[in-house]
Amino acid sequence: MKIQLRYFASIREDLGLAAEELDCDASNAAGLLAELRARGGAYAQALAEGRPVRVAINQVMARADTPLSEGAEVGLFPPVTGG
Amino acid sequence: MARVRIQTEDFDVGAELVSLRAGDLRVGAVCSFVGTVRDTRAITGVAGDEIRSMELEHYPGMTEKAIEAMIDEAHQRFDFYEARIIHRIGLLQPADQIVFVAVTSAHRGESFKACEFLMDYLKTQAPFWKKEQTPQGAQWVDARVSDDAALARWGIDANNA
């Protein structure tokens, strides 16, 4: 399915990319991270296992098992530090 | 006036507090919190701890939605009238104001609790990121486990840090 990826903060900087469209096979947030990690290079580093990555699906915080849907906007970012 | 504002401009705390309760005769308590840019060197005296400036990034659209949802959740838990949250983005200097949370209620207890709840929620669930300029260069601020613990007191798993 096609999804719209958006990257923020250190992940955006590490990838050198703020947004991209992806035709993904993954069905949930954890699967998506694994799929992106498997691309290697900057993706494997920015999204390395053990590095905290938060996922928002359609602008709502997601858990590892939160499902993806066609056309979803998926934000990937480090733990938030506002306030 | 919108409950949530994300802006680069500074805000006037006094004016915000006046307008939040203007004409509302039910109000007997107004509680507020202001977060500011801290220069850690001023606390530790260590030159390397200097914070020269801070850049705040956010996730436009999600930020507003997330904070609106937090205020709705606070209304489920506490008996208060109005809440307002302002969060600045962009480049900030030491001593600058970053965030403002204010709540009105009939009695102080509910507004104190709602104000603290909203800040605890915002710290771990609103998509903002701080990058500090230090003598060692630019550094993204790490999330604190203590902020997750603060939200856990309200029975919510932050799942952030």
Name the residue range of residue B94's domain.
4-152
Residues of B in contact with A82 (CB under 8 A): 56, 58, 87, 99, 122-123, 126-130
Split into its structural domains, chain B has a count of 1
CB burial readout B43-78, b (16+ within 10 A) else e: eeeeeeebbebbebbbbeebbbbbbeebbebbeeeb
Whether the pLDDT of residue A60 is over 90: the answer is yes
For position B89, what pLDDT does the model report?
98
Mean pLDDT of the residues in chain B: 97
A47 three-class SS: coil
Task: Measure Cα distances from A52 to A10, A11, B16, B113, B118 in Å.
Answer: 11, 10, 36, 30, 24
| Inside any domain, residue B160 | no
What is this model's ipTM?
0.95
Interface contact B127-A78, CB threshold 8 A: no
Among the partner residues B59, B98, B160, nearest to A75 by beta-carbon distance: B59
Q: What is the CATH number of the domain that holds B129?
A: 3.90.1170.40
Q: Is residue B108 part of a domain?
A: yes
What's the predicted TM-score (pTM) here?
Answer: 0.95
Task: Give percent above pLDDT 70 in chain B.
Answer: 100
Q: What is the pLDDT of residue B53?
A: 98
Domains belonging to chain A, first-starting first, are 2-77 (3.10.20.30)
Provide the pLDDT confidence category of residue B118 given band limits of 50, 70 and 90: very high
Residue B79 within any structural domain of the chain = yes
Judge whether residue A50 has pLDDT over 90: no
Write out the residues of chain B at the interface with chain A, using a CB-CB cutoff of 8 A.
35, 56-59, 61-62, 65-66, 87, 98-99, 119, 122-131, 140-143, 147, 159-161
- The DSSP code for A70 is T
Does position B161 have pLDDT exceeding 90, yes or no?
A: no
